[in-house]
């Protein structure tokens, strides 16, 4: 349960980071020209590590989670669809698989291997694929390696009471570089870091195509007989 919830939230976190609306450096969000205003989606590799960071659980209650994850994601803003290839380690276990999410039919598909056999699990979509770009405010600059980057605070009305999130963007190319999530000071200590690799400001349409197993022979469980978590939560680059 927690694995898929954690994964979904990272998915959402990745989305939010990759699709931020850049404002000025006055500390408030603005409707100014953004690096990402004109793109239809994005594709990126990612690697995330979390220690005790708050994430929303299936019941909506926030809980601290620790995990490591790596994978690849592409999001189509216009079609409201998403794909993620993930490997996540959490609570002493590992989950490897692929997820497709489609807002149009409100369905998600998770492909995973169990006892050397591939299964496709079809479920109601258990997270929102954002349709709008979250606001942000520029809070400073930083040199990452030898690359000058802008730092933006992501505005999030849902998780803001528990965490704060920042995106680091290449000042010259608008490429997403990294993101940090920190628990608020009035909560327990915890933080997460997400690094992005080969960020591309376009949609990988081929990866969004469902495999044949999900079309011809999906499993539609009332209670999943597998260890596949029921919802993915942490990869929508930025939470929205």
Residue 156 has pLDDT above 90, yes or no: no
What pLDDT digit, counting tens, does each position of 177-226 carry?
Answer: 999 999 999 899 999 999 999 999 889 999 999 999 999 988 887 554 34
Per residue, what are the HEC states of 30-64?
CCCCCCCCCCCEEEEEEEEEEEEEEEECCCCCEEE
Q: Which domains does the chain have, with CATH numbers?
A: 2-216 (2.50.20)
Q: Which ranges constitute the DSSP H helices of 113-239?
A: 212-216
What three-state secondary structure class fits 148? strand
pLDDT over 90 percentage in the chain: 42
| pTM, 2 dp | 0.79
Question: H or E segment at 108?
Answer: strand 107-114
Residue 227 has pLDDT above 50, yes or no: no
**Exposed, middle or buried by CB within 10 Å (0-12, 13-18, 19+), for 24?**
exposed
User: Mean pLDDT lowest for which of 12-16, 118-122, 129-133, 159-163?
Assistant: 12-16
φ, ψ at 6 (rounded to 5°): -60, -45
Pick the closest to residue 193 from 8, 48, 10, 69 (CA basis). 48
Question: H or E segment at 17?
Answer: helix 2-18
Angstrom distance (rounded) from CA 232 to CA 213: 20
Residue 2 has pLDDT above 70, yes or no: no
Q: Which residues pair with 75 in a beta bridge?
A: 42, 82
Neighbours of 182 (CB within 10 A): 17
- pLDDT bucket at 114, cuts 50 / 70 / 90: confident
Neighbours of 166 (CB within 10 A): 20
What pLDDT digit, counting tens, does each position of 63-113 carry?
Answer: 888 999 999 999 898 899 999 999 999 878 888 999 999 999 999 999 988
**Tokens (6 digits) for 203:** 């949609």
Question: H or E segment at 216?
Answer: helix 212-216
């Amino acid at each position: 349960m927690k694995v898929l919830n954690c994964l979904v939230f990272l998915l959402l976190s990745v989305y939010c980071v990759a699709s931020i609306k850049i404002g000025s450096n006055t500390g408030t969000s603005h409707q100014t020209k953004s690096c990402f205003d004109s793109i239809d989606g994005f594709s990126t590799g990612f690697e995330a590590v979390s220690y005790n960071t708050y994430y929303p659980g299936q019941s909506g209650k926030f809980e601290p989670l620790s995990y490591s994850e790596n994978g690849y994601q592409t999001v189509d803003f216009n079609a409201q669809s998403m794909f993620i290839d993930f490997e996540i380690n959490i609570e002493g276990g590992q989950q490897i698989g692929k997820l497709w999410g489609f807002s149009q039919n409100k369905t998600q598909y998770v492909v995973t291997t169990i006892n050397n056999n591939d299964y496709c699990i079809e479920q109601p979509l258990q997270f929102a694929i954002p349709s709008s770009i979250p606001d942000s405010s520029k809070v400073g600059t930083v040199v990452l390696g030898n690359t000058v980057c802008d730092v933006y605070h992501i505005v999030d009305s849902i998780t803001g009471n528990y965490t704060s999130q920042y995106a680091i963007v290449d000042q010259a190319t608008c490429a997403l570089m990294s993101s940090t999530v920190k628990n608020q000071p009035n909560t327990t200590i915890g933080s997460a870091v997400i690094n992005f690799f080969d960020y591309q400001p376009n949609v990988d349409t081929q990866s969004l195509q469902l495999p044949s197993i999900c079309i011809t022979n999906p499993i539609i469980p009332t209670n999943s007989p597998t260890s596949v978590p029921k919802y993915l939560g942490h990869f929508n680059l930025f939470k929205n």
